[in-house]
Structure 1
């Protein structure tokens, strides 16, 4: 064998070893952790020695929405994506009397991060994941290294007219007004939330909304109605959150599907009012922008986190 052949073989072997190591690092693992009578299902990837990014999903979804994002982030970060109680594969023990409200969802996630030993972490929040993440940030401001909000609302002006039925129920929580919210949990409505505002609906995998509907059927629709009825509590807590933004000025990227029928672009722009350093980007998509513009969102996150997490470590 010639020297050239030996060098080529060595280079090929090195590339193979590097690729194998990269695959091992970015491999997503599926695990469970029991906290407060809740068996939290979560996905985890990346080196535990790297900075941590906690991904919090929203309504009509689960950690499944991060299936493509996680391997990309895991090349540089320790990435964890739990299913919230009432969603995905997370289950609540029948022996536990669990009230489905956002305070309790946040309490479970707080206990989960502590059980995982997460001392500091960046947040990615989406939809329902936002009020959960906001509670974590307000309670533990020094733990939060950066925030990425993908259609995760924090301001009144971000709520569209599509919230009219919910607002009516918050103001007057009658059985009739609660029942009117049941339509948001139908298979047809879930699909609409994925496809509305999307130019090319053929890029939306049907499993996304089908799995979300299957989870509602499995857990029951009542927890979902409880959360819709409680969402008004998040709006009431906005003032505390805005004070956190003003006092701590966390690095923040709001990357928004500008055709979202529920959380409109004004909500993304509003972050700059209390946090002038907030960065705002829009993609031409709807609520579940990660399903149509996942590559752009991943690239924006990697650039943003690369600048800000390195700076925070200095």
Structure 2
């Protein structure tokens, strides 16, 4: 059997169907890949085969994203605390007791909440534009920050555009010297799923709740200091959402953190999957 073969599975957690991609030997060291907005485990389609020869790789779609269930915002409380709790129970359902975390965008506060709850389970962290410091917030946060401060129809309006095709395409292509390196399949895939009924309310609720993650930044940073968890940052240096200062800030609390600023944007895997896969393989071989 080809260890790099990806399996597409789902499991029921608290009555919700959670879709996930899995590859690698069941008894190999595990890596949990947590995606960001507005994408899904689809963002890891090129990375998973690069890691699966040595690791058990599992990449779930967060509730409301990708192929996981998407109950309406009236049926489920879309907060980062609730998504983290659901992800925690997902890991237990699929038998993850120790794992390295790969966190990107929304995956960062979800994964770091898992680390606060179960520090003994986390063997290492790979952060790819997954922020934990105020220094990492770029100019693109102006509209979301206004919504977080006060949710009104006026502050919701510009945030609604973030999940449009144009808004999603910008997230994929901004900061790239050669946008032709990014397949349009990526942003059209995300845009189609974001256009489903109920997504506007789901995504507005999550962005409005993002301030709860800022409140946890001191706790995340204390976790880094006390655990000295091995951390690798593979960061798109041209990202205007989470800027390079956020990557460098990890070294303040984790002096041995390894930071690589790559010449790409927010979705670095679209252009640098092989480079990031090689960095992860080398890092985990040395540190875990």
Which interval holds the TM-score relative to the shorter structure? over 0.9
The 3-state SS of whatever aligns with 1:54 is strand
Describe how 1:171-210 pairs up with structure 2 within 5 A.
171-210=149-188
**Structure 1 residues 160-206: Cα deviation after superposition (integer angstroms, max 9, x where no partner):** 12211111111122232123310111101100110000111111011
Residue 152 of structure 1 deviates from its aligned partner by: 0.3
Instruction: State the match for 2:16 in structure 1.
Output: 38
Tell me whether 1:272 sits opposite 2:251 in the alignment.
Answer: yes
Tell me whether 1:249 sits opposite 2:228 in the alignment.
Answer: yes
Distance 2:62 2:12 in 1: 13
Distance 2:172 2:245 in 1: 20
**Structure 1 residues 129-152: Cα deviation after superposition (integer angstroms, max 9, x where no partner):** 001001000110000000000000
Distance 2:192 2:145 in 1: 27
Number of aligned positions between the proteins: 287
Instruction: State the match for 2:205 in structure 1.
Output: 226
**Structure 1 residues 238-280: Cα deviation after superposition (integer angstroms, max 9, x where no partner):** 0110110000010000110000011111000000111111110
Instruction: State the match for 1:106 in structure 2.
Output: 84
**Structure 1 residues 105-131: Cα deviation after superposition (integer angstroms, max 9, x where no partner):** 111100100111211000000000001
Distance 1:119 1:220 in 2: 32
Residue 232 of structure 1 deviates from its aligned partner by: 1.2
Mark the structure with the bigger radius of gyration: 1
Tell me whether 1:287 sits opposite 2:266 in the alignment.
Answer: yes
The 3-state SS of whatever aligns with 1:270 is helix
Unaligned segments of structure 2, at least 5 residues: none
Instruction: State the match for 2:98 in structure 1.
Output: 120
Contact residue 53 and residue 123 of structure 1 kept, 8 A:
yes
Instruction: State the match for 1:312 in structure 2.
Output: none
Distance 2:30 2:114 in 1: 15
**Structure 1 residues 9-36: Cα deviation after superposition (integer angstroms, max 9, x where no partner):** xxxxxxxxxxxx4xx2110000000001
Task: Give me the CA root mean square deviation.
Answer: 1.4
Distance 1:86 1:93 in 2: 7
Describe how 1:136-175 pairs up with structure 2 within 5 A.
136-175=114-153
Distance 2:46 2:146 in 1: 37
Distance 1:99 1:192 in 2: 28
The 3-state SS of whatever aligns with 2:67 is coil
The 3-state SS of whatever aligns with 2:36 is coil
Contact residue 39 and residue 93 of structure 1 kept, 8 A:
no
Which has more helix, going by share of residues? Answer: 1
Residue 93 of structure 1 deviates from its aligned partner by: 5.3
Residue 220 of structure 1 deviates from its aligned partner by: 2.0
